Amino acid sequence: MLDSYGPWAVIAGGSEGVGAAFAHQLADAGINLVLIARKPGPLADTAAQVRAKGVEVRTLELDLLAPEALRTIRSVTDDLDVGLLIFNAGANSYGHEFVTGDLDRVREVIDLNITAQLALTHHFGARLKQRGRGGVLLVGSMAGYLGQAQISVYSAVKAFSRVFAEGLWLELREHGVDVLELVLGVTRTPAMARAGLNFDIPGLNVAEPDDVAREGLAHLAHGPVLVAGGNADAAVKRSGPDRAALALGAHEASKRLLPKA
């Protein structure tokens, strides 16, 4: 890990859940960290925990939707030899019907999951290409395999991320840079808990942050897409040709996950 993706890694969304799991596992491998997140409390806690493992840590309390976000990130990373970018900042699914929802909130979903992701990937990807080694890991979602009511735009941006990762993988692989879209299913994260997901449904496949982060890092060199947490068969089923039947079936199943409004 240190030879391929060190000595520094940048984690956008690195304060809790899967992002924090990445931070701990990279610190265990001796990789220094730049952790970016909006919430100062969890950010400081995770930074202190991984710093205690003997690595250097820089933190940046930042909303990636801010106009000067990339410039701010560059101000704390331009002097570092960054070998890995992890983009894990895309949890704002905004659960409302599109035509009656707030268009500004919809734009936030697009800007965080597409615009901000592209900005960071463009900047750090160019640096990695120039240095001739490193990795880009984009955290995706099973939502990107099938359109869903209430989160239609979120599903669409996650589909974009997966296809983008495939193209980026083709562009960078000959330059020694690994690219992986790590597709998550239901994962026991603070963000999903705040959304009110019911993790206790019998038969529901719930993954743990440490496990999916470990899967992602272990398969980073084998991109472009890894469906984590034992969800590979579900991804195949969601890719079938009868889109109406698949969408309706997933819609009925999803009603069990969230509390009624």
Give me the active site residues, please.
Answer: 154, 158
**CB burial of residue 122 (10 Å; 0-12, 13-18, 19+):** exposed
**Element at 28 (helix H, strand E):** helix 17-28
Distances (CA, A) of 100 to 105, 128, 252: 12, 42, 21
Q: How far is the C-alpha of 92 from the C-alpha of 231, rounded, in Å? A: 22
**C-alpha dist (Å) from residue 139 to 85, 103, 109, 180, 181:** 11, 25, 15, 8, 6
Q: How far apart are alpha carbons 223 and 137 in whole angstroms? A: 9
Q: What is the CA radius of gyration of the chain?
A: 18
Using alpha carbons, list the distances in angstroms from residue 86 to 35, 107, 193, 201. 10, 22, 22, 31
Per DSSP, the three-state class of 198 is coil
